[in-house]
Amino acid sequence: MKVSRTREPGLYADGGGLYLQVTNAEARSWIFRFMLNGRARSMGLGSLHTLTLAEARSKATECRKLCLEGIDPIEARENVRAAARLDAANTITFDACSEAYIEAHRKGWRNPKHADQWRNTLATYASPVFGPLPVQAVDTGLVMRAIEPIWGDKTETATRVRGRIEAVLDWAATRGYRQGENPARWRGHLQNLLPKRSKVQRVEHHAALPFTEISDFVRLLRAQAGTSSLALEFTILTAARTGEVIGATWDEIDLAERTWTVPAERMKGGREHRVPLCDRAVVILKSFRVLGDRYVFPGGKRGKPLSNMAMLELLKRMGRPDLTVHGFRSTFRDWAAETTHFPNEMVEMALAHIIENRVEAAYRRGDLFAKRRELMSEWADACYLPRRVEK
Domain of 223, CATH number, reads 1.10.443.10
Listed residues 165, 200, 235: the one ending a domain? 200
Q: At what angle do helices 227-238 and 214-221 cross, to 10 degrees?
A: 150
The torsion angle over the Cα atoms of residues 300, 303, 305 and 307, rounded to 10 degrees, is -40
Domain enclosing residue 110, as ranges: 94-200
Look at residue 31 and give its three-state secondary structure: strand
The CATH number linked to 22 is 3.30.160.390
Q: Does 206 reside within a domain? A: no
* One domain, residues 22 and 75: yes
What is the rounded CA–CA span in Å between residue 290 and residue 100?
45
Q: Is the pTM here over 0.85, yes or no? A: no
Instruction: Determine how many CB atoms are found less than 10 A away from the CB of residue 42.
Output: 13
* One domain, residues 378 and 315: yes
What is the rounded CA–CA span in Å between residue 241 and residue 351?
9
The CATH number linked to 136 is 1.10.150.130
* One domain, residues 228 and 265: yes
- Asked if residues 382 and 237 have their Cβ atoms less than 8 Å apart, the reply is no
Rounded to the nearest angstrom, the gap between the alpha carbon of residue 223 and the centroid of all alpha carbons in its chain is 40
* One domain, residues 53 and 101: no
* One domain, residues 281 and 305: yes
What is the pLDDT tens value at each position of the chain, 391 positions in all?
777 777 788 888 889 899 998 888 678 899 999 998 888 999 999 888 888 999 999 999 999 999 988 899 999 998 888 777 766 656 789 999 999 999 999 888 877 778 888 999 999 999 999 999 999 899 999 999 999 999 988 888 899 999 999 999 999 999 888 888 999 999 999 999 988 876 665 545 557 899 999 999 999 999 999 999 999 999 999 999 999 999 999 999 999 999 999 998 888 878 899 999 999 999 999 998 877 788 999 988 888 899 989 999 999 999 999 999 999 999 999 999 999 999 888 899 999 886 555 544 444 556 688 999 999 999 999 999 876 544 4
Beta pairing partners, 81: none
Q: Does 320 reside within a domain? A: yes
